[in-house]
Chain A
Amino acid sequence: MSTPPAPLLAALQRWHRRHGRDLLLIAPFLAVFALFTLWPVLRSAWLSFTDYHATAAPRWVGLGNYADLFADERFWRAMGNTLGYMAAVSLLAVSAGLGLALAFGSQSRWHQAARIAFFLPSVAGGVGAISVWKWLANSEPYGLFNTLRGWAGLEPVRFLGDPQWSLVVLVAVGVWSVLGYNMVIFVAGMRAIPAHLYEAAALDGATRWQRFRHVTLPMLRPTLLYLLVTGMIASFQVFYEPYILFGTVDAVGGPLDSALMLVTYLFDYGFRQLDLGYASAVAWVLTTLLFALAWVNLRLGRAGEAT
């Protein structure tokens, strides 16, 4: 082995003296980041072109996984469910969040308390809250939702056992969990609107509706767009809600796969059937769709600004 020329060695030494210790300090972070964030991206891309069941070494199958995926009826079922769920949750949660922000936007004690109440699912959501939903939606007569239906003179239904109801229940849970978050963001956005705009509008004799339509709404546009995009991205990746509400020992998709989502589909193939190559392909299709979604939203946002 030849020694590096002296100037290079000196430069290296200087570099080491200046930055060596700093790099050592951030090395643990970088090691974990490389091992569990960067490397898996490359590995996942590679695995998606292989047949890999965790026991034998991955075997190259080219586009085989992707071909299987697009030919699988269950995949399209999951796709349809996910898109429907995403559209319903993001639109409902954003519009209801805006409505609630208008209704509960003041600084009064009661409105502040109400905002805390709506925000609670963002904090104490998770598996605990979903378990309660499962109990509420119980098909037995003592299930609260069916009791409420009874009061309204309606027949009890099997919320978690009848395919017609699966998405309804999931959308209700989804909206419930992000409603308060959207509301709080809208309230912050409304606070940031300069008061003189409203004063000017009032001087021009604008009605309350006109003030909303021509001042509040345009000024909230970036907020609205942000919530819509992040809401869509999050609901597209929904997992534990359908898994807890509809998962059983032998299926994850609920009755007739009516609650099967793309991520539960990935989980089913990747971690129940240990078809890891196939699951990686699902992950990349999902990623592509997420990027497409973000891109379309950004384009729509820009197009809207131009007009």
Chain B
Amino acid sequence: MIRLPHERGSRWWWLAQAPLLLLVASVLLPYYWMAIGAFKTVPELVRQPPTFWVQKPTLQNFYDPGWYEGLVDPDHWAGIFQRVSEGFGFGHYYLNSLVVTLVVTLASLLSASLVAFVLVKKPFPGSRALFGLLLASMMVPWEVTIVPNFVTVAQLGWINTYPALVVPGLAKAFVVFYFRQIIVAVPHELVDAATMDGAGTLRTWWSVVLPLLRPGLAAIGMPVAIAEWNNFLWPLLVVNDAAHTTLPLQLGKMAGNLTYDPQTGAVLMAASLAVSLPAIATFLFFQRQFVDGLTAGATKG
């Protein structure tokens, strides 16, 4: 391991770390700016030079009790939870994102682990070819599939429905591949013992294999959930009504409308914070799983 120019313990060590501290600060800058911007009043947000600390914290960007429909007042504006389109507001988009992320993550992980289990421990004629097909499909870039998938979803009549958001993302070949690596190492005796006891494939998977996969489920679940939470392009294609709008879509719309009316900026910071916070919080709780999951390809490949 390479040591730093100034070894730990020397009194110059912290001096050597000072430029590094600046680096860390600059990487965190967008988050800091978002976090303080979300609680600034609009006049403070456009102050010049900008304030680097919130002088008059406000929750107006989330919810302004003094605002009502039609009011034009430089001191009051609609917070993110007051902006309603076709009867649906930010809370509804939040729920959409949450439900879609949870359903896709859970369902795709469970089904992929079942497939991996059957392919490895209950092989059938053609199961090797099937696995080869799954592997090969991982090389196809997503750009190839979005056009025909959009057509398929339209032909199924799924535009502006939840199935359009959920179903196409349920069969994830890379998750099958990930679980296969783990299941291959599971001793056959364990599976055979369950079969002897009269447990069918489904039962064995549920009570023997899944508990063994728990660390793996957590690790691969993180990147899957993050990708789903941030998913932007696919919902953009298949949803254009407010009822099925997800957070990234709404945020994209808000950022697209970012005009030089500073009120849009204030609300945008609040919305960005609301979207990023669950991801940041989950990450801080499950750091290890996150890093394991996101780096799985690098260390195993």
Residues on A lying within 8 angstroms of B by beta carbon are 15, 18-19, 21-23, 25-26, 28-30, 32-33, 35-41, 43-44, 47, 54, 100, 102-106, 108, 110, 114, 116-136, 138, 140-142, 144, 147, 150, 176, 179-181, 184-185, 188, 190-191, 193, 195, 198, 208, 211-212, 216, 223, 226-227, 230, 237, 239-240, 243-244, 247-249, 263, 266-267, 270-271, 276, 279-280, 282-284, 286-287, 290-291
Contact = CB atoms under 8 A, between A and B. Distances in A.
A227 to B, nearest CB: 7
Q: Taking chain A's interface residues, is the majority helix, strand, or loop, or is none over half, making it mixed?
A: helix
Contacts of B255: 127, 130-131, 134, 244
A17 to B, nearest CB: 12
5 contacts: A26-B114, A41-B144, A44-B144, A104-B20, A129-B34
Contacts of A116: 284, 287
Nearest to B260: A140
A131 to B, nearest CB: 4
Contact of B294 (A18, A181, A263, A284): A181
Interface string B164-183: 00011011010000000000
Given A22-B118, A33-B171, A38-B137, A131 B271 contact: yes
B67 interface: no
A237 B17 CA distance: 36
A198 B279 contact: no
A167 to B, nearest CB: 19
A25 B202 contact: yes
Interface in B94-151: 111-112, 114-115, 118, 122, 124-125, 130, 133-134, 137, 139-151
Q: Which 4 A-B pairs have the closest CB atoms?
A: A126-B230, A40-B148, A33-B171, A43-B148
A126 B269 CA distance: 14
Interface string B198-211: 00111000000000
Contact of B28 (A120, A125, A126, A140): A120
Interface string B262-296: 10010011011101100110111001001100110
Q: Taking chain B's interface residues, is the majority helix, strand, or loop, or is none over half, making it mixed?
A: helix
A298 B299 CA distance: 17
B137 A37 contact: yes
Interface stretch (B40-48, B57-65, B74-82, B212-220): B40-48
Interface centre among B139, B142, B247, B291 (most CB of A within 10 A): B291
A97 B27 CA distance: 13
Contacts of A114: 20, 24
Contact of A126 (B23, B29, B229): B229
Interface string B16-28: 0100100110011
Interface of B: 1-4, 8, 17, 20, 23-24, 27-31, 33-34, 37, 45-50, 111-112, 114-115, 118, 122, 124-125, 130, 133-134, 137, 139-152, 154, 167-168, 170-171, 173, 200-202, 226, 229-230, 232-233, 236-237, 247-248, 251-252, 254-256, 258, 260, 262, 265, 268-269, 271-273, 275-276, 279-280, 282-284, 287, 290-291, 294-295, 297-299, 301
A127 B173 CA distance: 25
A141 B48 contact: yes
Contact of A128 (B115, B149, B251): B251
Given A29-B115, A128-B248, 4 more contacts: A117-B27, A118-B27, A126-B279, A134-B255
Contacts of B282: 123
B276 A124 contact: yes
B124 A271 contact: no
A138 B4 contact: no
A138 B50 CA distance: 13
Given A29-B170, A124-B279, A240-B232, A36 B33 contact: no
